[in-house]
Structure 1
Amino acid sequence: MDCIFCKIISGQIPAKILKETDDSISFLDAFPLAKGHVLVIPKNHHQKIQDMSEKENSDLFSLVHTMISKVDSITGSTLLAVHNGKDAGQEVPHVHVHLVPRSKYDSAGAIHSMFDNSLKLSDSEIDELYTKLKI
């Protein structure tokens, strides 16, 4: 497989591993957006979160929970980001959670700053989405 994250997991590509569990691994991002930018990934190759087993998902987010306290100690705030699919901005097609230390002095904004306009939905569109998504 030609996945950079799979190569990190197998040891073919070196990485600054921070913590490892049976199903997940965390390491410093090689192309950080901020000092202390960490990635947390499942060891098995999955493109999207919904492709993972419940056990893998639980393990991944347990490691995210562990690592976010460490990352948050850098600046006091941490952006958690998951790009779940190519159209969502996923550059490496392997599930990964970004933990990016944030401060009021960085150049990034809130999630709404990623989009040009706020979406205006009619009541019927909202009701349709509610019906489709409600469990």
Structure 2
Amino acid sequence: MAGCVFCGIVAGEVPAFRVVDEPAGVAFLDTRPVFKGHVLVVPHTHLVALADLPPESLADYFGLVRRLAVAIEAGLGAGGTFVAMNNKVSQSVPHLHTHVVPRTKGDGLRGFFWPRTRYADDAEATSYADRIRTALPTDPA
């Protein structure tokens, strides 16, 4: 969809630190992460909310989200993850996306207050994307 930054990322027209691009979706680093390694997962097609995702796509899309949660823990040494999605209200980009955020005990995240951070530079962002990609399980089960 014209003007959608996530559609631009999917199409390769907008730069992003991609973690994975496969039929189920595209995952890339959030440019204003809650914690470093915060990934956004989007479907290839422009959909606004979860209700717009075809039922036949649910298993593959959320399978990718699950695999990324595993990869973030393994690749970044996170204690767990926070997986979240806004539908219409509070969507900064009106394109279906799922947040997968690395968590550690005592990291300071409380409720839905999401402090944001930045990567020091492109090399640091690339290293986070690479570490998650390397730990991404290949089996869909």
Q: TM-score, normalised by structure 2?
A: 0.72
Q: Which residue of 2 aligns with 1:54?
A: 55
Aligned length: 111
1:78 aligns with 2:102: no
Between structure 1 and structure 2, the one with the greater Rg is 1
Report the Cα distance in structure 1 between the residues aligned to 2:23 and 2:102, rounded to whole angstroms.
26
1:109 aligns with 2:134: no
Q: TM-score, normalised by structure 1?
A: 0.75
Cα displacement string for residues 18-76 of structure 1 (whole angstroms, at most 9, x for unaligned residues): 11221411111111110110111101011111111112222210110111101123221
Matches within 5 A, 1:22-61: 22-61=23-62
Report the Cα distance in structure 2 between the residues aligned to 1:77 and 1:23, rounded to whole angstroms.
23
Cα displacement string for residues 109-133 of structure 1 (whole angstroms, at most 9, x for unaligned residues): 145x79xxxxxxxxxxxxxxxxxxx
Cα RMSD (Å): 1.7
SS at 1:40's partner residue? strand
* Runs of 4+ that moved beyond 6 A: none
**Structure holding more helix per residue:** 1
1:66 aligns with 2:67: yes
Report the Cα distance in structure 1 between the residues aligned to 2:87 and 2:73, rounded to whole angstroms.
23
